Amino acid sequence: MRNRRIVGKRKVRPTTRGLKIKQKLVASLEAELLRRVRAQGGVSRVDLARQLQLAPSTAGAYVDRLISEGFLFEQQKATRNFGRPPTLLALNPGGGRFVGVDFEAQNIMASLVDFSQQPIQQVHETIHPGDTAEQVVAKIESIIDDLVRDCRREILGIGVGVPGIIDPKKQVALHYSHIPNWTNVPLGERLTKKFKVDVFLENNIRSMALAELWFGQGRSLDDFICLGIRTGIGAGVVVGRRVLHGKRNLAGEIGDWLCPVGLIGRPGPAGLHCEELRPLEGGVSVPAILRGIRTAVESGVESNLNGQVESLGLEQAAEAARAGDPAVVAVLKRAAETLGWAVVEMDALFNPQKIILAGLIVSFGDALLKPLHEAVERFCSKRLGEKPVVSFSELGSFNGALGAAALAMHEWKPKR
C-alpha cells in the first residue's frame, strides 16, 4: 500500500481587507456598547453582555479596552440588600469632546460637550440679513474655532443642525431660502477638511428633537413631535424613539402647510371658517408674529409700544406680552389659533404622546401657550379619545446645538 504523506494545514494570514472589515465590526460593536451605557446611565458588564448577546468574557474584553483608552470607568457599586453588588460602568467625561452647532437665518448657537454629554461651553454668533452662504460658513468655522482653541481634550466629532433641506449621506446642505445663495453647500466636506474629525449633518429641527429625546421631555417617551419655531417652522417627528427622515429627508417640512387665519372656530353656515388660508410659516413664525405686532400697533390697536415698532425685536415683544400689552396679546391669540389648528392636524396624523414646542417661540411663555391650549381644546371638542398634550421645551436656546453634539456622539465610533 502506498504511503500517504499528511501535510499540515498552512496557516492563513488575514488579508488587509479582512482586517479592515474586522476592525469596522469591532468599532461598531464598541460604539453600540457605549450607546447603551450612555442611554442607561450606568450598566453592569453582565447586563451589557446579555443585551449585546455576547459571551461575558468577550464583552469584558471590549469593556477593558474602552476603560484603558479612557472612554469608560467603573462607578461606585450599587447598593442592595443581599449578595455582592454589581459594579456599574459609566462614561468617562475626560474621554474626549464633541461640538454641536445649530443655526438658522439669524443665529448660530454652538455647544462643547464632554464624553458624558455634559455641556462645557456655549457660544452664540449673529447672522446678519445680508450675510451670504460663504460668510455664514466662515462664521460657523470661526465659532467652532473659538470652542476648540483652548480645549485640552481631543475633539472626536462635530454635529451640525442645518436649516432647510439636507443630504446627510453626501454631507451637503441642499437649500434654505432665508440665507442668500444657500444651495448645494458642501458643509460637511468643508468642516471635515478644516477640523480633521468626523462631521455629521442633520436638519436643525430634527436636532432639536434629538435634544428632547436624549436630554429633555422626550427621554421617557417613544413617540413625540418637536415643533421648532424660529425664522422658519419645522417638525421633528420621533416614532419608536427614532427620528423620522422620509424618502428624501423631507419629513417634518411643514412650513408651507396652508392653515386658516382669523375667525377659525366660530360657528357659521358651513361650520368652521376663516378669513384666509396662509402658509404656517407666514402666520406663526417669529418674524411673522413680530410683523403682526407692528401692523396692529400702526393700525391703532391699543398698545404701549407706540413709537417703538420700527425697532421691535423678540425680547421687547416678549416683555410686552408678559406685561399684557393689548396689541401683542391680540396677535399672539390669533397666532395661537392657527398654531392650534396645525397641532391638532399633526396629532391626528401621528398620534404622539406629546407635542413639544421649541425655538425662539417659547420666549412668549404663557401669553402664547395659554391661548394655544384653548385653541387645541376647541378644535378637539368633537373628537374621541385624549386631546394632544402640548408643552414648551425646557432646554433653552441651545437645545438644537446640544442635540447636534449628541448626534455626533451617537454616530461616533472608536478608531480601530
Question: pTM score, two decimals?
Answer: 0.86
Rounded Cα distance, 291 and 283, in Å: 9
412 to 10, 157, 166, 202, 222: CA distances (angstroms): 38, 7, 20, 14, 23
- Strand positions, DSSP E, 5-118: 43-44, 72-74, 88-91, 97-103, 107-114
Please state at what angle helix 366-379 crosses helix 326-350, rounded to 10 degrees. 50
Q: Cα-atom radius of gyration of the chain, to the nearest Å?
A: 26
Rounded Cα distance, 258 and 264, in Å: 14
Cβ(97)–Cβ(155) under 8 Å?
Answer: yes
**What's residue 269's pLDDT?**
46
Cell of 215: 436630554
**What's residue 310's pLDDT?**
85
Instruction: Domain 94-216+399-411: give its CATH code.
Output: 3.30.420.40
Cell of 302: 391699543
- Whether the per-residue pLDDT at 81 is higher than 60: the answer is no
Instruction: Domain 24-78+85-91: give its CATH code.
Output: 1.10.10.10
The DSSP annotation for 131-199 comes to: --HHHHHHHHHHHHHHHHTT--S-EEEEEEEESSEEETTTTEEEE-TTSTT-EEE-HHHHHHHHH-SEE
pLDDT tens digit sequence for 110-169: 999 999 989 999 999 999 999 999 999 999 999 999 999 888 889 999 999 999 999 999
Average pLDDT over residues 38-61: 92
Percentage of the chain exceeding pLDDT 90: 77
**What's residue 275's pLDDT?**
72
Average pLDDT over residues 19-25: 83
Strands 390-392 and 354-358: parallel
Query: Order of strands across the sheet with 224-229?
Result: 242-243, 233-239, 224-229, 354-358, 390-392
Fold match flag (94-216+399-411 vs 224-392)? yes
Collapse the DSSP code of 387 into the 3-class scheme (helix H, G, I; strand E, B; otherwise coil) and give the result: coil
181: confidence class by pLDDT, cuts 50, 70, 90: very high
**What's residue 378's pLDDT?**
86
- Whether the per-residue pLDDT at 371 is higher than 70: the answer is yes
Domain boundaries, the chain: 24-78+85-91, 94-216+399-411, 224-392
pLDDT tens digit sequence for 329-349: 999 999 999 999 999 999 999
Cell of 379: 378644535
∠ Cα 356 137 228 (to 5°): 10
pLDDT tens digit sequence for 219-273: 999 999 999 999 999 999 999 999 999 999 999 999 999 988 765 554 444 456 6
Architecture of the domain whose range is 224-392: 2-Layer Sandwich (3.30)
Cell numbers 485640552: residue: 152
